[in-house]
């Protein structure tokens, strides 16, 4: 029991040390950087820069297309708060009572590490589209929903092979199963395709700006 309490104290001390470290980082570096960034953002906004260019994003959050319209309306009606953040990630998005709170992390990172992270993200995102046969299946299904058997017949592939392609497309969120009697049909989710491609585009454009 005494050993368990000791472990608990060590864990508590670790969390306190991490919190203290962050506090020191904020006081020594973060505060001044955020104040400087805030002044710079104010200047750019006065010069007419858009909130998207300020946040360095063409889309706020891949997979959340609903946020785009909310953000545009909030910007037009003066219900948007923009904040540079020291401990943010790439983007900070909160919608609350009709207001949009958007932020971008300004903490400097390793250029090479950021490039590797971006490349890894894009390659994983685009894996579903990387195989010509899989892409052809997706394009064919976009014309009309079909069963795995019909896809197999159309592309002269075994059903296990088709199922493997379909599983990757499912994991990417670009196709779904729609009930059809006792079976189901594979159907393309067009909005999801746009979001996956848009997310990859956003990541690549960000990489070009690093």
C-beta separation of 193 from 65 below 8 A: no
- pLDDT tens sequence across 118-170: 667 667 667 888 899 999 999 999 999 999 999 999 999 999 999 999 998 88
* 14-32 burial code (b ≥16 CB/10 A, e <16): eeeeeeeeeeeeeeeebee
In whole angstroms, give the CA distance from residue 72 to residue 19.
Answer: 36
- pLDDT tens sequence across 33-74: 889 999 999 999 999 999 988 888 877 876 677 888 899 999
pTM score, whole prediction: 0.48
List of domains in the chain: 2-108 (no CATH), 111-208 (1.10.10.10)
In whole angstroms, give the CA distance from residue 137 to residue 22.
Answer: 50
């Amino acid at each position: 029991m005494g050993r368990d309490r000791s472990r608990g104290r060590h864990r508590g001390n670790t969390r306190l040390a991490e919190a203290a470290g962050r506090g020191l980082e904020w006081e020594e570096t973060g505060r001044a950087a955020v104040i400087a960034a805030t002044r710079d953002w104010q200047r750019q906004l006065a010069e007419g820069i858009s909130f998207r260019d300020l946040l360095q994003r063409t889309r706020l959050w891949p997979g959340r297309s609903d946020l785009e319209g909310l953000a545009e309306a909030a910007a037009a009606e003066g219900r948007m708060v923009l904040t540079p953040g020291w401990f943010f990630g790439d983007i900070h998005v909160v919608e609350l009572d009709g207001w949009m709170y958007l932020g971008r992390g300004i903490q400097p990172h390793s250029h090479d590490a950021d490039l590797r992270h971006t490349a890894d993200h894009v390659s994983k995102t685009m894996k579903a589209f990387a195989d010509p046969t899989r892409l052809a299946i997706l394009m064919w299904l976009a014309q009309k929903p079909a069963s795995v058997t019909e896809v197999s017949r159309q592309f002269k592939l075994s059903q296990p092979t088709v199922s493997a392609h379909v599983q990757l497309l499912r994991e990417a969120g670009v196709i779904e199963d729609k009930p059809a009697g006792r079976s189901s049909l594979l159907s393309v989710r067009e909005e999801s395709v746009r979001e996956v491609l848009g997310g990859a585009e956003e990541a690549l454009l960000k990489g070009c700006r690093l």
